[in-house]
Each structure stands twice: as C-alpha cells, then as structure tokens.
Amino acid sequence: MAQSIQTITGEMFCGATASGAERLLALCGEIDELNVFPVPDGDTGTNMSMTLSAGAEAAKRLPAGCGAGEACAAVSAAMLGAARGNSGVILSLIFGGFSESCREKDRLDGASLAAAMRAGADAAYGGVAEPKEGTMLTVARSAAEAAERAAKAGGDVLAVLKSALSEGRNALSRTPEQLPVLKKAGVVDAGGRGFTAVLEGMYGFLTGGAEAFADAHFAAPDLAAFTEEDIRFPYCAEFLIEKVGSLTTEEIRESFSALGDSLVVREDGDTLKIHLHTDRPEEALRLSLNIGQPKRVKIENMRSQLKERKAKSADTGEKKQTGIVAVCSGRGLREVFEELGCDGVVDGGRTMNPSARDILEKCAESGAETVFVLPDNPNVVMAARQAARLSEGRHIVVIPTQTVPQGIAAAIAFDPSLPAEKAKEEMEAAAHRVGTGQLTCASRDSTFAGTHIKKGQVIALKEGKLLSVHERFTDGAVELASALAGPETSVITLFAGQDSDRDETEEIEEKLKEDYPFAEVAVVYGGQPVYPYFISAES
C-alpha cells in the first residue's frame, strides 16, 4: 500500500479516473435505487456511470507520459459530450472546473489537487440554475473544503484525497436532514453517493487497495411515497449544441429557466450542454435550434420511468434465481432472443461492441441472482468477462458464444430449473454443436489470405475465416452450407440481414431444402448489419 504520494502525473490521473468509473459501474444499480431527487426516475447511477466512463475511455487513448493538465482536459471534454441526466451533467461540471484549475500543470501536488477540487465544486454550483443543499453539490463542496484543510496542513496527495473522501461521506450521511424529499423517502442523496463512489475508486487506485470501498450499503427508498403527479415537469430534455449564436451563457440560462426546472448548463468553448426538466419539450428544442446546431438531443418521459420503476418494485414474489442477457444487433434477432425468454438484449456485435457497463446494466435489470451472458461475438467476450468481475451482489456467468446462432442455441438449451453450473454446461455444449458462417460483400478491391477479391464480390466466411469468393449470394450460401453441414446435421438456419434481398433469400431457402432434405431448413429475418446472411448448421 502506498504510504505517501507527493504528486500525480497525467498517467496516474487517467488510472484514477478509470478506477472511479469502475467503482461507479459496480454500484450503478444501488445508486439508481437511491434516486428520488430531483425526480424519482431511478437513473442517477446509470447517468453518472455513463458520463464518467466516457472520460475514462478518452483517458485510455492518451499517450504515455502525458501531463496532468492534458489528461484532465481530455477527460473533461469527453464527459461533456457524454453527460447524461441531471447528475451526469453536474459531474461533468465538476470535472470541467477541476480541469480548468490544472490546465497548465504537468503534475498535481496536494495543494493543486485541493484547489482543483474546489474549482470543480464551484463550477458545479455555477452551472446549476437553482442549487439545492443536500445534493451532490453539497457533498462535492464539503469534500473540497476538507481537501483544502488537509493541503493547508501540509498534506500530500493521499492525505488530501483521504480527507476529501472522509468528509464527503460525512456530508452524504447528512443529506436527509438537508433535503426533505430524502428524509421522506428514507435515503441519502443518490448523486452524492455517486460522487463518493468516484472518490473511493480514485483513492483505491492510488493506495493500491480496496479498503476505500468498505462502507455500508444504503437503504432503498419507499416509492409508495411518490406519485407520477409529483413530477411537475415530466420531460427530461438534454441538448448537446455546437454554439453559433451570440447569446451569453446567462442569457441562455434565463431563456431555458422559463420552461421548467432542474436546469443545468455547461459551456466549454463552442460546445454547450443543457439539461432541463420541462412540460414543453418542443419549445426547449426550438430554443436549442436558436442557439446553434444540436449535435445530440435526448427527451425522456420521467413519469413513465417512475411508473415502470414502481411496477418492478411492487413485485413481491421470490427473487428470480437465474436469467439470460444476450448481445446482438438487428430487430429480428432481438425478437428471437426475447421470444426465447432472455431477460435483456444488449445492442452490439461487429463494429459496435458494447461496454462492460452496458452489459452490467442489463444484468441488473434482469433482477436475477445469477445471470448468464451470451456475448455472441469474440470481440464482446472480454467486455462480458469484465462485467462479471465488476458485478457486486450478482453472479454473472459468461457463456463464450462466438456467433449469434451459437447464442440462440445456448438460449434454447437454458433450463432455469438446473443448478447454475449444470445449466452452464448444457448451454456451452449446445453452442459447440453449432457451426456458423457469414456472407458479405467486399467494400473494396483487396487480397486476403492469398485470394484476390474485387469490390462487390460475395465473401463466404466459415467461423470467421475466408472460405470462398462468389458473384452471387446464392452460390456463396450453397458453398457455405456444404462446408458446415454433415450427415448428422438436423437444423440449417438462414439469418437474413438488413441488406438482404427477399427474392434472393427465398431462392437460397429453396436451394438449401433441395440439397438437405434430411434437415430442417428455417429462415429468420434477423435484420443484422454488416452481414446480409448468416448460415448455421446444428447437429
């Protein structure tokens, strides 16, 4: 364990940010449960996690040896673009102020760390139209004040951060006495809990230990105390805008404040992030268009979110023992997994790999104690395993399916009555009995594995490796099926993607039925991108 750290380098800050993001991700579900302010929509942990994770991803792309100021600026900029929800935008404000404070610094010592934390808290207060005590703002300010006291006493980086964490926790415990809605629900502030989680992760990284995490869990709120009518402004509107107008930040704040509450504004150069709760989302959108070019717009109905949250909370039956989460892309494939009883489907696959956070969130939504994850792509297996490592209070088991057809076979084989280990064996065995191939078109002239391929030609891949090249999908399908099927094959499935042609699909289907009369031939309109066709053979 580190006893003393005099300065933080850019690389150390990146590592600490990643650790803070992992800590938030691990506690995401718990923090969501605490969420009752400003509205009980149950997404504070999710929003904060997604916001900071974007910063952590940006940090990974920085060169080794980067300065602390450079690292902070990269993290802050990424968080601005990704900020979600009231809590996420406020967290991005904190990191924005922190970044401004250390813009020119190569390293941060105890004093500059404390000053940056104070700048972050001040920026958050300045960005919120109507700051409320008993929230993340209070926790961040209290942590910064403790950091300043420790730095003034000559404390190094660890002493400053430890003091900030300790006082942040104390401030969090006092939030129910400061905000009546928290006392009514019997909870601490969710955003404040999220902020202490970030400090825990950072401190844990710098000390090399997990003792920073050893704090008590917090009780969930009594949702019966809230009604949909309590949410005066039902729409959560968020705008990421490339500013081109001449309006000042204060003028922008004044314009939007007339439309609702929970207004948070963060401006960084020509980029503007606005968060607002309103009953006139169309008017908020019109205002955003007057300011500049919206790069991202999100509008959600918080009354519907509360209704869904209460419905889940009202389920008083026995806790679900096992569940399944699958990863795929394509409406048809999603429907297949849902019909097979999957508790959640994560959008992803080739060229759009989901993060561990995305997978962990779906696992939490399942409500099951043990969740089997079907990655259905070799590039997703690592993220699924990371989600399993980060999960707290829930056992995540990764079935390393390499393709969607393998995932479907595993889902079909799933038996919730079996013990988890036995169910895992059955699902893995079912996946291994499935051979898979893909058909796609070459986007350019190339040479692959010694084979010359012209733009527009059909490429047949067996288990991800080049099998053959053709002029027509039908010919490629015949060749691929021949390589996959054998005397013991019982089912051949053709998965038609979003770029498939229905007439050609029917032609392939008829050809497969003709060539393999001993097998059942099925067609699934999966709608997957990249590959117009998957073909699987199961014995």
**Whole-angstrom distance, CA of residue 136 vs CA of residue 446:** 54
Does the pTM surpass 0.75? The reply is: no
The pair phi, psi for residue 446, each rounded to 5°, is: -160, 170
Closest to 102 (Cα-Cα) out of 201, 6, 13, 205 = 13
Q: What is the pLDDT of residues 474-532, one digit of tens each?
A: 999 999 999 999 888 999 999 999 999 999 999 999 999 999 999 999 999 998 988 99
Give the pairing of strands 491-496 and 520-525: parallel
Strand segments, DSSP code E, in 147-282 are: 235-243, 260-268, 271-278
Tell me the mean pLDDT in the region 311-323: 66
pLDDT, tens digit (0-9, with 9 covering 90-100), for 84-129? 889 999 999 999 999 999 988 999 999 999 999 999 999 999 999 9
- Helical spans, DSSP H, in 64-156: 68-82, 85-101, 110-127, 136-152
Query: Quick one: DSSP state of residue 220?
Result: P
Q: How confident is the model at residue 30 (pLDDT cuts 50, 70, 90)?
A: confident
Q: Determine the Cα angle at 66 with ends 60 and 68, to 5°.
A: 95
Per-residue pLDDT tens over the stretch 5-22:
999 999 999 999 999 999
Taking only Cα atoms into account, the Rg of the chain, rounded to an integer number of angstroms, comes to: 26
pLDDT in tens, 518-527: 999 999 999 8
What is the distance between the alpha carbons of residues 420 and 283, in angstroms, rounded to a whole number? 52
User: Would strands 370-374 and 395-398 be described as parallel, antiparallel, or unpaired?
Assistant: parallel
Name all domains of the chain by residue range, CATH numbers in brackets.
7-216 (1.25.40.340), 231-301 (3.30.70), 318-432 (3.40.50.510), 434-538 (3.30.1180.10)
Average pLDDT, the chain: 89
